[in-house]
Structure 1
Amino acid sequence: MSQTFFISDHHFGHKLIIDFENRPFVDTEEMNASMIAKWNQVVNKEDTVFHLGDFSFLNKEKTQAIVSQLNGYKILILGNHDRGRSRTWWLDAGFDEVSAYPIIYKNFFFLSHEPMYMNKQMPYVNVHGHIHGQKYEGLHYYNVSVEQLDYSPVSFEQIRDAVVVNEEQ
């Protein structure tokens, strides 16, 4: 049975992010290889992955080489560092779908790159990235930046169950 996963902010090829976010890598080559391996440890070929932005700082050829190594049907929601390139650029790089706007998934998740304002009456959980090692407080936010997830995609069920458990406390 196929699963759906979420992750964001890989910043493939971005040398400075290693220091900015205290990532445990010596250089971008080690970082890229480790993040590809962690992705493929949890994602199977028949799974779907929503990448919530800031995927790669590399050129199209190198980005394509990374995307082609990653398991799953890959959907990209453009992040602030992705928006300088067109939807077509990202599709050519190997993503199966690309959205410039947030997506509502299963009437439960509001998928966006940046955290969106969610008041207490909102029926959604905002699954987002962008803020890397930081976390928004409250039941309506779930940060899927790689730093929050040990660089591995997280499943729909894991997020849903975490939110439901927190709601009951």
Structure 2
Amino acid sequence: MSNVYVISDHHFGHTNIIDFESRPFRDADEMTETMIEKWNAVVTKDDKVIHLGDFSFLNKDKTANIVSRLNGYKTLILGNHDRGRSRSWWLDAGFDEVSENPIVYNGFYFLSHEPMYMNKHMPYVNVHGHIHGQKYEGKQYINVSVEQWDYTPISFEQIKAMVIPSEEQ
């Protein structure tokens, strides 16, 4: 049985993100290798990963090389830094699926790059990235930017456990 993971905001090849977000890497190459290792430490070839955007700042060949090294079936929801490239560019770079819009997952989770407005009376949860080291208050928002999860994809089982108390699962 395969697992489903989510993560966002790798910013592969973006040297300045190391300073902007106080990432613990000497340079972009160390950041790339560490993030690939952390991904493959939890994701198997049979798993699925939904990446919530801002994947790579590199050219298509370098991006494709990284995508090919990552385990799992990979879906990309375009982030603000990804939208300058076409859907077909990302598919050519190796993603299995690419969405230009948020995805509703299991009828309950809104998966998006940027946080979405969630009225406190809405019964849904917004799983998002974009805000890196920041967090929105409340259980309706789960930030899956790499800075929040030690640069490692988080499983939907973990997300579900955060949202629904264990006696209700």
User: So what's the TM-score if we normalise by structure 1?
Assistant: 0.97
Runs ≥4 residues deviating over 3 A: none
User: Take 1:122 and 1:73, find their aligned partners in 2: how far apart are those partners?
Assistant: 31
Matched, 1:138 2:138: yes
User: Take 1:123 and 1:99, find their aligned partners in 2: how far apart are those partners?
Assistant: 24
User: Take 1:97 and 1:123, find their aligned partners in 2: how far apart are those partners?
Assistant: 27
User: Take 1:16 and 1:165, find their aligned partners in 2: how far apart are those partners?
Assistant: 39
Deviation at 1:164, TM superposition (A): 1.8
Deviation at 1:126, TM superposition (A): 0.2
User: Take 1:107 and 1:157, find their aligned partners in 2: how far apart are those partners?
Assistant: 15
User: Take 1:165 and 1:22, find their aligned partners in 2: how far apart are those partners?
Assistant: 33
Aligned pairs (5 A) from 1:17-36: 17-36=17-36
1:52 paired residue number: 52
Amino acid at match of 1:77: I
User: Take 1:44 and 1:114, find their aligned partners in 2: how far apart are those partners?
Assistant: 27
Aligned pairs (5 A) from 1:141-160: 141-160=141-160
1:3 paired residue number: 3
User: Take 1:48 and 1:123, find their aligned partners in 2: how far apart are those partners?
Assistant: 25
Amino acid at match of 1:37: E
Deviation at 1:67, TM superposition (A): 0.1
Aligned pairs (5 A) from 1:54-69: 54-69=54-69
1:113-140 CA-partner distances (Å, limit 9, x unpaired): 0000001222211000000000000110
Percent identical: 74
Amino acid at match of 1:82: D
Q: Which structure 1 segments of 5+ residues have no match? A: none
User: Take 2:52 and 2:149, find their aligned partners in 1: how far apart are those partners?
Assistant: 14
User: Take 2:40 and 2:53, find their aligned partners in 1: how far apart are those partners?
Assistant: 18
Amino acid at match of 1:67: V
User: Take 1:96 and 1:20, find their aligned partners in 2: how far apart are those partners?
Assistant: 30
User: Take 2:33 and 2:54, find their aligned partners in 1: how far apart are those partners?
Assistant: 17
SS at match of 1:131: coil
User: Take 1:145 and 1:89, find their aligned partners in 2: how far apart are those partners?
Assistant: 23
User: Take 2:34 and 2:14, find their aligned partners in 1: how far apart are those partners?
Assistant: 14
Aligned pairs (5 A) from 1:61-140: 61-140=61-140
Q: Which structure 2 segments of 5+ residues have no match? A: none
Amino acid at match of 2:82: D
What is the root-mean-square deviation of aligned Cα atoms in Å? 1.2
SS at match of 2:63: helix
